[in-house]
Amino acid sequence: MAACGAYAVNTVQPSSPPAAASGAKIPLIDDAAFPNIGDRLSAKGIPWAWFSGGWDNAEAGHPGPTFQYHHQPFNYFAAYAPGQPGRARLQDETTFFSAAAAGTLPAVSFVKPYGTENEHPGYASEHTGSDHLVDLLQAVMSGPQAKDTLVVVTYDEFGGQDDHVAVPTVDAWGPGTRIPAILISARMQHSGVDSTQYDTTSILATIEQAWGLSPLSSRDAGVNPLTNAIRAGTSGGQGGNG
């Protein structure tokens, strides 16, 4: 881990439990100074939750061997520390499956699979991860909320060594090389490829647009939301360069 001013580069651990016994930890982030998308949703009264594979075991003090502490973004913020009201938003992935079956999923749901089920090379396998993804998708699409749900599947890294498309320059932090993203909805009548330029913060922008939330930063304020891709799937039109 290297630090430069107010920035940390590479893996840092949360201060709130569950946290790794070793590795650099950073102080809890002040939500008032640096709000996240969960804070924005809560302020508007929008139901939401973060579902993580292995969370209950990790929180109870006996994490699985591939539970990733640093893959729990909200656990870095003061509003979601143990004892704080926001802590209830951090839930186990098993709750996601039961909520999907019951039709009680929050309006915005984030899902982070357990380590061996996230397709990461080195400690996970592609087929185990993709099989688990199918389970997650089937839970949503067979549930009572399927007709009103948009699922966005994406990754934090790319799967190859080369990309023929030059990486655009937006700011000092990227974007980086292209990563896969798949949009799925029972309302989509067509499949295809959208050529609009997006980045990961396009997901934030889509949530913000849908719920009338203020942007978190200049990045999500200026990026394309996923509107073109959604429109292409539901109307049969071609995604364009928005």
Q: CB–CB of 173/126 below 8 Å?
A: no
In this predicted structure, the answer to whether residue 122 has a pLDDT above a threshold of 90 is no
Phi, psi of 74 (to 5 degrees): -70, -20
Mean pLDDT value of segment 1-13: 68
Phi, psi of 79 (to 5 degrees): -70, -10
Question: Of 120, 113, 159, 155, which Cα lies nearest the Cα of 134?
Answer: 113
Mean pLDDT value of segment 130-135: 97
Residue 159 pLDDT class (50, 70, 90 cuts): low
Residue 152 is predicted with a pLDDT of 98
Q: Which residues of 218-235 are buried (b: 16+ CB within 10 A; e: fewer)?
A: ebbeebbbbbbbbbbbee
Q: CB–CB of 224/168 below 8 Å?
A: no
Range with the lowest mean pLDDT among 7-16, 24-33, 155-164, 233-242?
Answer: 233-242
Range with the lowest mean pLDDT among 102-106, 118-122, 142-146, 201-205?
Answer: 118-122
Residue 77 pLDDT class (50, 70, 90 cuts): very high
Range with the lowest mean pLDDT among 80-94, 187-201, 204-218?
Answer: 187-201
Residue 237 pLDDT class (50, 70, 90 cuts): low
* pLDDT above 90: percentage of residues in the chain: 72
| C-alpha–C-alpha distance, residues 207 and 78, integer Å | 22
In this predicted structure, the answer to whether residue 231 has a pLDDT above a threshold of 70 is yes
Residue 186's alpha-carbon distances to 141, 145, 211, in angstroms, are 7, 10, 20
Residue 186 is predicted with a pLDDT of 94
Residue 120 is predicted with a pLDDT of 87
Mean pLDDT value of segment 173-184: 87
Residue 239 pLDDT class (50, 70, 90 cuts): very low
Residues 6+ apart with CB under 8 A from 22: none
Residue 140 is predicted with a pLDDT of 98
Tokens in use for 168? 């655009």
Q: CB–CB of 188/238 below 8 Å?
A: no
- The predicted-structure confidence for 187-202, as pLDDT tens digits, reads as follows 998 898 999 999 999 9
Residue 242 pLDDT class (50, 70, 90 cuts): very low
Mean pLDDT value of segment 12-33: 93
Q: Regarding predicted confidence, which is higher, 111 or 167?
A: 111
Residue 161 is predicted with a pLDDT of 66
